[in-house]
Structure 1
Amino acid sequence: MGLKNLLGVALAFALVASGPTPAQASAPVTPPGTPQAAGTQFLSAATVDLAWMPAATGTNPIAAYEVYARRPGWTYPDQLLTTTTSAWVFVPIGGLRPATTYQLYVRARDTSGLPGPASAPVTITTLPSDIVPGPPVATDATATTATVSWRPPAVAIERIAGYDLIVPSATPTQPIQIRTSMGPSTTSAQLTGLRPGTTYTFIVVARYTDGTPRSAPSTHGTVTTAPSVPPSPPSDLTVTTFTPTSATLSWTASAPGDFPISRYYTYVNGGALGVPNPGPDVRTVTFAVSPGSTYEVYVRAVDQAGIYSAPSETFTFTAPGQ
């Protein structure tokens, strides 16, 4: 082979060797794992509370859980009922028809939109609408009280033994709370001891006399109490007494808002002071200090409804050295 041909072969080899490197194969993307249904509660004519265990995370974080329903024997596409970020809590699922059998399942979807496998289905049959009371509705609400009422089920009153107003449990391991029980002819309840500016969720369960299952609940209803005027912040913070190891803090009383003052909470360097919280007629606390250390203290009042004032102005001092 001549010198010219040898140079041509060498040049071609060099061009091939210096060409682009083939792209490395990307790692496979793993979808989220399979959620596991943990149970249901309070099946009504149109709703049910469903809980599930969280799915294992795949390559990307889980963005949401999707709850679907299919009706056995139907050829229609499965229905997306709700999308939520919750797991291991009871999620109210609506959009169901009375006296209808459904298979509910859950799947996780990650932040890239990739769905994971569907959970095993949970089969439910919603109740006939005539045995289910209407949801509780607030007819009057103050800062700490509310009157709620509901529509009775469309059955003869002789079949009704009474009603329970229930706070649904949040998780599968938390017990339900029966707020009050009423007789068969009473379809309203007066609630007391509520917190101002707070939304509560309730359901009404009808109890029957003829062997009908007790689980005949309404759909969820909410009650929101009125906001309350909080106490004013304590004022005039000062240290009145020093010892080598303690300081005594005093302040001027807060003005009550809608409710009387219950006690004062004191804080030092961003945390609780660690001493008993004085009642409304005591406006001084003594606490331990270290010589030469600097302290930032403030006080808040709380009233008998559990409403806190804004913090007082922060008072800063340095304990004297020994």
Structure 2
Amino acid sequence: MGLRNLLGVALAFALVASGPTPAQASAPVTPPGTPQAAGTQFLSAATVDLAWMPAATGTNPIAAYEVYARRPGWNYPDQLLTTTTSAWVFVPIGGLRPATTYQLYVRARDTSGLPGPASAPVTIATLPSDIVPGPPVATDATATTATVSWRPPAVAIERIAGYDLIVPPATPTQPIQIRTSTGPSTTSAQLTGLRPGTTYTFIVVARYTDGTPRSAPSARGTVTTAPSVPPSPPSDLTVTTLTPTSATLSWTASAPGDFPISRYYTYVNGGALGVPNPGPDVRTVTFAVSPGSTYEVYVRAVDQAGIYSAPSETFTFTAPGQ
């Protein structure tokens, strides 16, 4: 064997000897931790809201949470109800049967597909369908108002004390907001003060005179208001008075869109100007400046529906030195 061949064999042995051992080649992979169920709300005939605390991250980031249901006493595989990336918010869970007991649990799955342990189960019993009202449905919607109606539960009217139209809280720490309440024979409500081009989510809760059950929530319903024409941008921005320590900004009024102008908002160097926002009939503001400093200012109008105009053109100026 020649010298060159001997050197090649020696180099190959050296590379094998210096390579990682099987134990060093890969570290153990840790799965995600166990989520902790935080509670439920608005249990209905076929739905419930479930919230849980985030699971601890293992070796890989958490990709999703999976919510499963099992029915005690049934020898069937657990049912995957939903997959979501959310945690510490109420997630609407559907696909349940009326008047049925379930155990719900959550597990995290990481980006490699490795699942973590299941949370402790939460036991629920869905309500009979006859005591649950139908979800709210928008029967008429404008930019700022909407009429919603719902189907009454299939019970005698004397059992019903009334209805509450509720905005479901997003997280366990938010309060329940009752938007309006009606009497037992009223199954619609007129909503005002809505924002144009916005989708709202509501549920209806039937209150019963006998208190058993005390309330029965509907499934979720959504209301989407019509879009609105915004005001035009303010124009002709200029500084009418300028000293080393103050500047007076003025502009030409915006043209209203679908609603009257409510106020003007002024901005400097990308942030709020820090002065009172003038009303619709005032189109000038005075603010403090520093000698020799340069400022970029612009103005936006907002109407009575809360819709902002596009920004005006930016006006740039430099305060004189002292």
TM surpasses 0.5: yes
Q: Check conservation: 1:301, 1:308, Cα contact below 8 A.
A: yes
1:215 to partner: Cα distance: 2.7
Deviation per residue, 1:212-234 (Å, 9 max, x gap): 22230000000011111100000
Q: Could you tell which deviates more after superposition, 205-214 or 282-291? A: 205-214
Deviation, 1:47, is: 0.2
| Structure 1 alignment gaps of length 5 or more | none
Q: Percent identity?
A: 98
Distance in 2, matches of 1:271 and 1:97, equals 53
Q: Name stretches of at least 5 consecutive residues in structure 2 with no aligned partner.
A: none
Q: 1:3: Cα distance to partner?
A: 16
Q: CA deviation at 1:6?
A: 13
The answer to whether the Cα contact below 8 Å between 2:30 and 2:58 also exists between their aligned partners in 1 is yes
The 8 Å contact of residues 202 and 220 in structure 2, kept in 1 or not, is answered as: yes
Higher mean C-alpha displacement, 170-179 vs 42-51:
170-179
- Conserved? CA contact 1:43–1:215, under 8 Å: no
> Is the deviation greater in 166-175 or in 13-22?
13-22
Local SS of the residue matching 2:24: coil
Cα gap change, 1:46 to 1:320, in 2 (>3 Å): same
For 1:212, the equivalent position in structure 2 comes to 212
TM-score by length of 1: 0.94
- With over 3 angstroms needed to count, the CA separation of the structure-2 counterparts of 1:264 and 1:23, relative to structure 1, is same
CA contact (8 A) 2:137 2:150 kept: yes
TM-fit CA distance, 1:21:
7.1
Query: RMSD of the alignment, in Å?
Result: 3.0
Shift of 1:188: 0.4
Report the Cα offset of residue 16 of structure 1. 7.0
How has the CA–CA distance of structure 1 residues 68 and 274 changed in structure 2, closer, same or farther, with 3 Å as cutoff?
A: same
Q: SS of 2:217's equivalent?
A: coil
Runs of 4+ in 1 over 6 A off after TM superposition: 1-16, 18-23
Bigger mean CA deviation after superposition, 63-72 or 23-32? 23-32
- Out of 68-77 and 127-136, give the one that drifted further: 68-77
Per-residue CA shift, 1:44-103, capped at 9, x if unaligned? 000000011111111111111111111111111111111111111111100100000100
Given the superposition, is the C-alpha separation of residues 158 and 293 from structure 1 closer, same or farther in structure 2, using an over 3 Å criterion? same
Q: Distance in 2 between matches of 1:244 and 1:165?
A: 57
For the residue of structure 1 that corresponds to 2:23, the secondary structure is: coil
CA contact (8 A) 2:244 2:292 kept: no
Instruction: Give the alignment's TM-score, normalised by structure 2.
Output: 0.94
Residue in 1 that maps onto 2:164: 164
> Does the residue aligned with 1:23 lie in a helix, a strand or coil?
helix
1:126 corresponding residue in structure 2: 126
Q: After superposition, give the CA deviation of every residue in 1:151-197 in whole Å (9 maximum; x if it has no partner).
A: 00001111111111111111111110111111111110000011111
Cα displacement string for residues 270-313 of structure 1 (whole angstroms, at most 9, x for unaligned residues): 11111111111111111111111111111000011110000001
| SS of 1:9 mapped into structure 2 | helix
